[in-house]
Chain A
Amino acid sequence: MNYSFEEKVHIPKPRVNNDVCVKCGECSEICQFGAINVFKNGVMIFKSLCHGCGACALICPVNAIKEIPEDMGIVKRGDARCGSLKVGMGYLNVGEPSGVVLIKRLKKWMSDEDDVVILDAPPGTSCPVVETLRNTDFALIVAENSPFGLHDLKMVLEMVDEMNIKRGLILNKHTDTYEGVEKYAVDNGIPILMRIPFDMEIASLYSRGILFASRYPQWKAEFERMFSTLGEMTGWLSR
């Protein structure tokens, strides 16, 4: 990867001017995140709890709160080795609780492009995952072939279906000994777009950071086939 552009991302966090502050406590009361405590001698702000919403500054009757932008991470953009591919990534500062703002920033960049955008989401079903999924055309769900994978798949489906996003499934680390995931998908009408077997060679290539599709022409063809299926399912091929 060659990143040609980098931008620091900030969120506004409150700073209190203690000379002006009258210790009325309204900021502490309005804050939904418990990030402000007001004492007789001053105001204490727990920055890691602050979401940067600005309510405290809005409500302060004497304008003692100023919002100062603070670094929370960076986003980068550049070209991948093969040239035509543009890649963006976000990097959360250690100690910051949530990367949602970074994801929003990245998605804003991506929406400037009229091409197909592939978003690599975090695992689970928490707020960064929801932010990644918001306003996307398709969710490609990767499920591991095990009871763990089946359980997590059900949670992800609940989220994706509630958000009304089209979806399909890739079965990863697929073996014939466990059928739970496959059966669930078939019973619930979830299209299975690919099965990647549990394979030591694939695992070993991954561990060294090598795309297995780049080593096996038959897998490259499989991915190309899936890509055009996605094109048909989302309708972008006909756009």
Chain B
Amino acid sequence: MVIQIAIVSGKGGTGKTTLSGALAELFENVVIADCDVDAPNLHLLLNPSVIEEYEYHGGRKAHVTPEKCDGCAICAQHCRFDAISLVNERAEIDEYACEGCGVCKLVCPKDAIVLHETLSGMFFVSKTHVGPMVHARLKPGEENSGKLVAEVRKKALDIAEKRKYPVVLIDGAPGIGCPAISTVTGVTYALVVAEPTNSGIHDLMRIVEMLRHLRRDFGVVVNRSTLDLPNTTKIHEYCRSEDVEIIGEIPHDPLVMRATEEGKSVMIYKESAAAEAIKKIHRVLMKKFNLD
């Protein structure tokens, strides 16, 4: 069975991609999936060359045929998403608000509304120096990013199974909404990257709640742990009281920033304290899933 490890966090900017990129360097025979489809960044560290390209259709949008519309506004009354307004006595759809449910089409007495498939994004299979990578790009403002995340994960799992690779490493979407839920659904393990800040601790609690709700096995990594030692202690206390395992701590290290600015993983810096800590985390994971 393929081990699927998802790197997640309750808030953005905690260091998911940094950790994912570094772990990708350490695992052998790994497939990488960038599931942060709203703001993918992992390709900036792994420099993939695209081999296959797929269109992603996330859903539909309503369109009005103006010649048929008589401006009765029945559609606008029924739309639950405030997506329809009357402009010059014709219904007009706000594409950003439309969720493509089709209620307007259903109630229109003049048959003036059609639902169109929309191209919501693309996803790619690529080659990198650490192994195959699946990544995507959602068109800004598109809905249903959870569904695209599921597509990316399915493709990555397919590749791993075909090549008999033991690990899929998933760089997740932040938060607890649909792309985050889709990132962790069915994974073997979730690695939560927490930051020792007041807001970071708050968001850690939220994602722990989500992972419990979805019954996932998970552990916590404290990133930039030396930035605020009292808050790092608070994370330890919280994890102890909630019986959550802390997998490792990554100290604040300016080399992480330097490597990122160079578009490289921090692992290129042998002397880096962060790289050393990530190696330890990698060993814990190897042991946990009998990958030695």
Residues of A within 8 A of B (CB): 12, 30, 32-33, 48, 51-55, 58-59, 92, 94-99, 104, 122-131, 134, 144, 146-148, 151-152, 155-156, 158-159, 162-163, 175, 177-178, 198, 200, 203-204, 206-209
Contact with A along B228-240 (1 / 0, CB 8 A): 1001000000000
| CB-CB under 8 A for A95 and B44, given A55-B101, A123-B39 | no
| Neighbour of B231 across the interface among A58, A178, A207, CB < 8 A | A207
CB atoms of B261 and A30 under 8 A apart: no
| Neighbour of B59 across the interface among A32, A131, A151, A178, CB < 8 A | A32
| Neighbour of A32 across the interface among B13, B39, B60, CB < 8 A | B60
CB atoms of B39 and A125 under 8 A apart: yes
Q: Choose the segment among B126-134, B156-164, B176-184 that binds chain A (4+ C-beta atoms closer than 8 Å).
A: B176-184
> What range describes how many residues of B lie at the interface?
35 or more
CB atoms of A125 and B60 under 8 A apart: no
Q: How far is the CA of A126 from the CA of B141 in the complex (A)?
A: 5
Residues of chain B lying within 8 A (CB to CB) of residue A129? 38, 141
Residues of chain B lying within 8 A (CB to CB) of residue A92? 176-177
| Neighbour of B199 across the interface among A95, A203, A209, CB < 8 A | A209
| CB-CB under 8 A for A125 and B38, given A97-B177, A204-B228, A207-B231 | yes
Residues of chain B lying within 8 A (CB to CB) of residue A207? 195-198, 200, 227-228, 231
| CB-CB under 8 A for A95 and B227, given A33-B101, A151-B44 | no
Contact with A along B80-109 (1 / 0, CB 8 A): 111000000000001011011111001100
| Neighbour of A144 across the interface among B13, B96, B258, CB < 8 A | B13
| CB-CB under 8 A for A155 and B99, given A92-B177, A162-B141, A208-B231 | no
CB atoms of A146 and B260 under 8 A apart: yes
Nearest to B260 among chain A residues (CB) is A146
CB atoms of B227 and A204 under 8 A apart: yes
Q: How far is the CA of A95 from the CA of B213 in the complex (A)?
A: 7
B145 proximal to A (CB < 8 A): yes
CB atoms of B210 and A95 under 8 A apart: yes
Task: State the 3 A-B residue pairs at the shortest beta-carbon distance, nearest first.
Answer: A124-B38, A53-B101, A159-B140
| Neighbour of A178 across the interface among B178, B179, B261, CB < 8 A | B261
CB atoms of B107 and A126 under 8 A apart: no
Q: How far is the CA of A102 from the CA of B141 in the complex (A)?
A: 17
6 further A-B pairs in the complex, CB-CB below 8 A; given A53-B102, A53-B103, A95-B181? A32-B59, A32-B99, A123-B13, A123-B174, A163-B96, A177-B261
State how many angstroms separate the Cβ of A231 from the closest Cβ of chain B. 27
B257 proximal to A (CB < 8 A): yes
Q: How far is the CA of A152 from the CA of B103 in the complex (A)?
A: 34
B249 proximal to A (CB < 8 A): no
CB atoms of B80 and A53 under 8 A apart: yes
State how many angstroms separate the Cβ of B40 from the closest Cβ of chain A. 8
B12 proximal to A (CB < 8 A): yes
State how many angstroms separate the Cβ of B139 from the closest Cβ of chain A. 8
Q: How far is the CA of A125 from the CA of B228 in the complex (A)?
A: 30
Residues of chain A lying within 8 A (CB to CB) of residue B97? 131, 134
B20 proximal to A (CB < 8 A): no
Nearest to B213 among chain A residues (CB) is A95
CB atoms of B197 and A51 under 8 A apart: no
| CB-CB under 8 A for A162 and B177, given A126-B145, A144-B13, A151-B44 | no
| CB-CB under 8 A for A126 and B179, given A30-B106, A51-B101 | yes
CB atoms of A32 and B100 under 8 A apart: yes
| CB-CB under 8 A for A146 and B261, given A94-B176, A125-B138, A130-B96 | yes
